[in-house]
Amino acid sequence: MAIRMIVKEPDEVLHKKAKEVMVVTPNVKKLLNDMRDTMYDADGVGLAAPQVGILKRLIVIDADEEHGLIQMINPEIISREGEQLGPEGCLSIPGLNGDVRRSETVTVRGLNREGVEITITGSGLLARAFQHEIDHLEGVLFTDIAEKVYEYIPGKETGE
């Protein structure tokens, strides 16, 4: 188990576009494992490689019991439906939350850790997590697109 340091805003790596992974190597699999361990250690539901300082298109998400841990290489959203507005936070921006408008349901295509193409459709929190983590791969933070940003207060669900 390797816990990596989570990069914090305003580190410039968080604002850069990540590069496509061309070959799934043992190092890519190790990075996915480290990201998983780091996400769980920080009590997060998702983590993108730029958040550990690596500009590669890798994400890990564990947002619902149905799907469990998702490790995805080169994820891309291929369809969107509906709309949700809700609170988001980020391991790279501790102490802040924001109200962010996202698609209610997304279908995401990418590679699993074995290099096999997979497609996952998720709604609610899973859809939000996919969109949030894929934004990280584009150098976009939730604070860039939030309708309202506010101090995070444990137990308080909105900025109202």
Evaluate the CA torsion angle 145, 151, 55, 69 in order and state its sign.
negative
Residue 67 labeled ligand binder:
no
Residue 88: active-site member: no
Burial grade of 120 (CB within 10 A; 0-12, 13-18, 19 or more) = middle
Residue of 66, 88, 133, 157 with catalytic role: 133
Q: Retrieve residue 110's tokens.
A: 């990418």
CB 24 within 8 A of CB 113: yes
Residue 121 labeled ligand binder:
no
Cis preceding linkage at 94, omega within 30: no
Instruction: Identify the three-state secondary structure at position 7.
Output: coil
Return all residues near 98 (Cβ < 8 A) that are at least 6 apart.
87, 88, 89, 142, 143, 146, 147, 148, 149, 150, 159
Report how far residue 11's alpha carbon sits from residue 115's, in angstroms, rounded to the nearest whole number: 30
Residue 132 labeled ligand binder:
yes
Active centre residues (catalytic): 133
Residue numbers belonging to the annotated binding site = 90, 132, 136
Residue numbers belonging to the annotated binding site for Fe cation = 90, 132, 136
